[in-house]
Amino acid sequence: MAISVVMPALELTQETGKLLAWRKKEGEEVTKGEPLLEVETDKAAVEIEAPADGILAGVKAGEGDVIPVGQTIAWIVKPGEEPPKEAAPAGSSRGTTTEAARPAENMATASPAAGAGAAAARISPKARRLAKEHGVDIARLQGSGPGGEILASDVLAAAEGKAPAAAPAAAPKAAAGTLEPLTSIGRLMAERMTQSWTSVPHFFVTREVDAGPLNAAREKRLAVAEQSGGARPTHTDLLVALVARTLRKHPRLNATWTAEGVRLNPDVNIGIAIAVNDGVIAAVIPNADKATIAEIARQRRELADRAKSGHSRPADITGATFTISNLGMYGVDAFTAIITPPQAAILAVSSIVDRVVPVDGAPGIRPIMSMTLSCDHRVFDGARAALFLSDLAEAIARPEETLG
């Protein structure tokens, strides 16, 4: 039986994926698990593996096409078998490449890509009529309906020239200045940060710590890494390990707000904010509370390499339960970060600076690091946040006890 290859949904908010490249040609033999195509999701470029053994057939999407999540783009058939004529509904693709594929009715509605998205865009009858009457190209519209449908107001706004066309290519004449088209990472960053900032009640708790013991712990492991040829551990790597272990004692900070209640996440997966060309992505160290510094350093280096070359894998960027954003290398004194839903907190880490502070009752110079925790007040309160920071400060003061 033919098995469909569909545009995968790798993120809850993802509506479309851009097909970057086929790794196999039509008619070529494929083996389950080998790279079949490369997709640019809202977050990163990822390689998608073949869902089955067979022959690649019925390829419907070309390189550069933007395709609604869940849509069949090709088939894997047995030798001599013809691919089905009609695209099967997304539901039939379960167990293939897209475990996360959503039902067709929830699919992307207003694809920004001219042509590709037009047929899939849902549009109200009135909007369709108005678009015809006003000569508005609906493929260029972004719907504002409850499910992303194109509504009459969207068409009228476009007809009056108010609506910015969603497709970057369709905006040739900016009135003043140069319009920098959004990349998928840029657009997603804007959407998710707006969603978080406008729907998550943030509050912030700051604490300064003496980073001396942290520096010492890092020096010790740096020496080991140099001898063994392993990845050089960074301050971030140590913080990942210390934060993850501290989170075990504070499950409420490793949690998710839902309408039904606060869900405590069983695993501690730490996201590390990594700057890439056109935005920021959060690479994930799974089960960081159990990983050694050497393991974290090696994983972090691999994740960063793939992210910077645009070859992140789906698992690289999903499943974080808590994020650390470290801007220390830029000489930042302190900053606040926006929480990445569905996480409940993010820790913003500044640079380590020598400061004059009281040491045993006398002025002394110590390397001070400031940390600011952004908290979702629906999930936990200021006292819990303070207790967590207190325990984290303790762990940073005695890293070897925590790291064991």
Partner 1 sequence: MSTHEVVTREITFAEAIREALAEEMRRDSRVCILGEDVAEAGTPFKVLSGLVEEFGTGRVIDTPISEAGFTGLGVGAAMTGIRPVVDIMFGDFITLTMDQMVNQAAKIHYMSGGRWKVPMVMRTTLGAARRSAAQHSQSLHAWFSHVPGLKVVLPSTPYDAKGLLKEAIRHENPVVFFEDKMMYKMKGPVPAEDYTIPLGVADVKRAGEDITFVATSSMVQVALGAADLLAEIGISAEVVDPRTTWPLDEQTIVESVKKTSRAVVLDEGYERYGVTAELAALIAERAFYDLDGPVRRMGAMHVPIPFSPPLEDATIPTPQKLFELAREMCGRS
Active site residues per annotation: 377, 381
Binds partner 1 by CB under 8 A, chosen from 88, 104, 114, 152:
152
Minimum distance of partner 1 from residue 110's CB (angstroms): 14
Minimum distance of partner 1 from residue 153's CB (angstroms): 8
CA distances, 287 to each of 147, 233, 271, 402 (Å): 35, 18, 11, 16
Q: Which stretch binds partner 1 (CB under 8 A): 104-112, 142-150, 190-198, 318-326?
A: 142-150
Minimum distance of partner 1 from residue 138's CB (angstroms): 14
Distance (Å, whole) CA 127 – CA 119 = 15
Is position 106 an interface residue for partner 1 (rule: CB under 8 A)? no
Binds partner 1 by CB under 8 A, chosen from 126, 134, 249, 263:
126
CA distances, 380 to each of 201, 203, 375, 402 (Å): 11, 10, 7, 24
For partner 1 (CB under 8 A), the number of binding residues is 13
Is position 149 an interface residue for partner 1 (rule: CB under 8 A)? yes
Distance (Å, whole) CA 369 – CA 354 = 9
Minimum distance of partner 1 from residue 129's CB (angstroms): 4
Residues 6 or more apart in contact with residue 228 via CB below 8 angstroms: none
Is position 286 an interface residue for partner 1 (rule: CB under 8 A)? no
Distance (Å, whole) CA 257 – CA 375 = 12
In the complex with partner 1, the residue whose CB is nearer, 125 or 358, is 125
Binds partner 1 by CB under 8 A, chosen from 125, 135, 261, 358:
125
Q: Which residues of 153-188 are buried (b: 16+ CB within 10 A; e: fewer)?
A: ebbbbbeeeebebbbeeeeeeeeeeeeeebbbbebb
| Residue 15 DSSP class | -
Binds partner 1 by CB under 8 A, chosen from 92, 106, 144, 292:
144
Minimum distance of partner 1 from residue 108's CB (angstroms): 18
Within 226-265, the residues that bind partner 1 by CB under 8 A are: none
Check: CB of residue 208 under 8 Å from CB of residue 372: no
Only one residue has tokens 């700051």, namely 206
Q: Which stretch binds partner 1 (CB under 8 A): 39-47, 141-149, 276-284, 371-379?
A: 141-149
Binding site for partner 1 (CB under 8 A): 124-129, 144-146, 149, 151-153
